[in-house]
Amino acid sequence: MDNSEHMQLIYVILAAAVATFLTRIGGYVMITQMKRIPPRMEAALNAVPAAVLSTLVAPAFLSGGWDVAVAMLVALVIGLRFSSLWMLLAGWLVVMAIRHVVI
Amino acid sequence: MVSAAPFGALFGALAVDNGFSVFDAVFMSATVYAGASQMVGLELFGHNVQPWLIILSIFAVNFRHILYSASIARHIRHFSGVQKFFVFFLLVDPQYAETEKRAERGEPVTFAWYLGFGLVIYLPWQLMTLLGAIFGQMIGDPKAIGLDVLLPIYFMGLVLGFRKRDNWLPVVAVSSLASIAAMHFVGSPWHVSIGAIAGIVLAAYLPLSKRHEEPVTLEHEV
């Protein structure tokens, strides 16, 4: 990362901190002013996390190599029942086993 | 609180692996202070995604905090302006949960209690980020110790965490397929914005559910 990229990173982090703070104060401000978000906008905002995060998962499944794909599938099954810490542990064990034992 | 500690270290190690310095990693933990969104931020930054989308994504991942701050408003009305600033800055999932539990038990939510509990989560989060980042610097090849698989799995866990939301499956399916297609035809980093917008537009146009009080969900992370 060169110098200008690094400055950009610092600015993005600061903007992200402000955005996060706005979410933390926003409910308080809204409840004291009693304004409502339009329902369709609320539905769209509700979908943002799953929509953005899916774009970080799906391409990695295809482009990460078969060992990563197998680890992600195992983690998905684990994740239907257990917390994300167990998903990480299971996926990590699978990928380490494939890389250091199988191959 | 205990379950958040490994994620602080994980964030530190992955941040360094994604080109952050140790300072950048701790700086982000100290100012943003919201684990899942920090992971999203560093992944997007690693992909050279446009800054506005990085900030919007972090905002969206943290959107649940709006519900928390609306809900604790009744307990902190008597705090001063400066005290409220600290209250909102420290308002992470376990902090919210403990505040509500304390109020429910009929015990007073004092500023001293709130700040004390908050620092017990905040300071270890910084320390774990620092340790993880220092550890991350010592790793030569992240693949050899399986570090590369952790971020996609972590995000998959977050996606699963939202599965009770309206239209979750269609949104995830459409965003996944659109991002894969965009990766193929347009290229990175546009697959993130194109895939995300596809799912968001779908959600806005799908029929609205009847119930409109969003249940406040508790996730066990910072």
pLDDT tens-digit series, residues B25-84:
999 999 999 988 999 899 888 888 889 989 988 998 888 788 788 888 888 988 999 999
Asked, for residue A40, whether it belongs to a domain, the answer is no
Interface probe for B, chosen from A32, A40, A84 (most Cβ of B below 10 Å), is A84
A8 and A31 belong to one structural domain: yes
Angle at B135 between CA B133 and CA B140, to 5 degrees: 110
A28 and A53 belong to one structural domain: no
Q: Is the peptide bond before B189 cis (omega within 30 degrees of 0)?
A: yes
A26 and A73 belong to one structural domain: no
Tokens of residue B112, six digits: 């001293």
Give Cα separations from B14 to A72, B45, B59, B137, B170 (angstroms). 18, 12, 21, 10, 30
A55 and A87 belong to one structural domain: yes
A24 and A53 belong to one structural domain: no
A19 lies in which domain range?
Answer: 1-35
Show which of residues 102-161 on chain B sit within 8 Å of chain A, judged by CB atoms: 143-146, 148-161
B185 lies in which domain range?
Answer: 163-212
Asked, for residue B156, whether it belongs to a domain, the answer is yes
Asked if A51 is an interface residue toward chain B (Cβ–Cβ < 8 A), one would say yes
How many domains in chain A?
A: 2
On the question of pLDDT at B122 being above 70, the answer is yes
Residue B213's pLDDT is 47
Asked if B50 is an interface residue toward chain A (Cβ–Cβ < 8 A), one would say no
Please list the pLDDT of chain A residue by residue as tens digits (103 residues): 788 888 999 999 999 999 999 999 998 988 777 656 678 877 887 787 788 889 989 998 998 889 999 999 999 999 999 988 999 999 999 999 999 887 6
Asked if B18 is an interface residue toward chain A (Cβ–Cβ < 8 A), one would say no
How many domains in chain B?
A: 2
